[in-house]
Amino acid sequence: MRTSWGSATDRGLVRRINEDALLAYPPVFLVADGMGGHAAGDVASRLAVEEFAQLAGRPVAEPDEVHACFRRTARRLRTVVEAGRTAGTTVAGVGVAAYDGAEYWLVFNIGDSRVYRLADGVLEQISVDHSVVQELIDAGQIAPEQADEHPERHVVTRAIATSGEPAPDYWLIPAGPGDRLLVCTDGLTIELSDARIHQVLAGVPDPQEAAEQLVAEAVAAGGRDNVSAVVVDVAAATPPSDMEATRPSRGPWTDEVDGATIPRSSLHRTEGSS
């Protein structure tokens, strides 16, 4: 698969430092949103980028190698952050993957950064947030529209942290020739509606310009948090050879990964296409 991409990040208007970090180098595109303040959150997100950057230049991102990056990030975080200090980072992203001769996106997520896909004119959120507000939405206690203004909107329920093994979610989705993916931190999605994100992704052809415009609009809309975006376009892809293979698949490797789930949006897609 040939890809073209662009990326942008901004401290925003309120935070004193930028604790976000990003990686955009085939076969891996990701954002990391560090938590814990100076010399903790920024270190945590940078460690994630350093570990995943070891995959840069490979033809594909193998699932077990991606998972090893999560584990190495957690291990290094424990050694560099002072005892008693809380630090962690989200990681959300996509890797170029191959399975049975066809090309896929390996989508991975821990925390509340997000992966979206624009395909056939439809924008869908692939990742599912690990956040308190997502749990409240799932429980029917708040409406999705209330999430971005909720006082606990920044509270994540999973992250790469100084304690415990990281438990990211994974999805394997077929890569289409017209796909555009957006990987972003919550600083973008708390400021811009999905409808506005859709408009920019559909209206700005160049991925670098699209990433810059999304980040600039989020800052202009308030910039309450650090903002980061990576936009990835497929320049050429090998589609799956039969319909069965186009179903969202967890692949044979997810048995080794805790907490792997299928996104609700992909389940809808499966129902609609069968």
The nearer residue to Mn ion, 31 or 260, going by C-beta atoms, is 31
Question: Taking the chain, what is the end-to-end CA distance rounded to the nearest angstrom?
Answer: 26
Read off the tokens for 256. Answer: 């080794």
Q: Is 103 in the site for Mn ion (CB under 5 A)?
A: no
- Mark the segment that binds Mn ion (CB under 5 A) among 55-63, 180-188, 199-207, 250-258: 180-188
From candidates 114, 225, 265, 269, binder to Mn ion by CB under 5 A: 225
* Min separation Cβ 231 and Mn ion, Å: 18
Rounded to the nearest angstrom, the gap between the alpha carbon of residue 202 and the centroid of all alpha carbons in its chain is 19
Among 10, 179, 186, 191, binds Mn ion (CB under 5 A): 186
Using the contact rule CB under 5 A, the part of the chain among 81-89, 136-144, 184-192, 210-218 near Mn ion is 184-192
Among residues 10, 33, 217, 233, the one that binds Mn ion under rule CB under 5 A? 33
What residue spans of the chain are helical by DSSP H? Answer: 41-52, 63-80, 132-138, 186-189, 194-203, 207-220, 243-246, 264-273
Which CB atom, from 20 or from 233, has the smaller least distance to Mn ion?
20
Nearest to 41 by CA among 206, 177, 154, 180: 154
CB of 140 to Mn ion, least distance (A): 26
Q: Identify the helix (H) or strand (E) that includes residue 241.
A: none
**Which part of the chain contacts Mn ion (CB under 5 A), choosing from 29-37, 48-56, 58-66, 125-133?**
29-37
Q: How many CA atoms lie within 13 A of 191 on its CB side?
A: 23
What residues numbered 44-73 form the site for Mn ion, per CB under 5 A?
Answer: none
For position 191 contacting Mn ion by CB under 5 A, the verdict is no
Could you tell me if 185 and 110 are in contact, meaning their C-beta atoms sit under 8 angstroms apart?
no
Q: Is 233 helix (H, G, I), strand (E, B) or coil?
A: strand
How many residues of this chain interact with Mn ion, rule: CB under 5 A? 5
Question: Where does this chain touch Mn ion (CB under 5 A) — which range of 41-49, 170-178, 182-190, 203-211?
Answer: 182-190
What are the C-alpha distances in Å from 211 to residues 117, 183, 253? 14, 10, 32
Binding site for Mn ion (CB under 5 A): 33, 185-187, 225
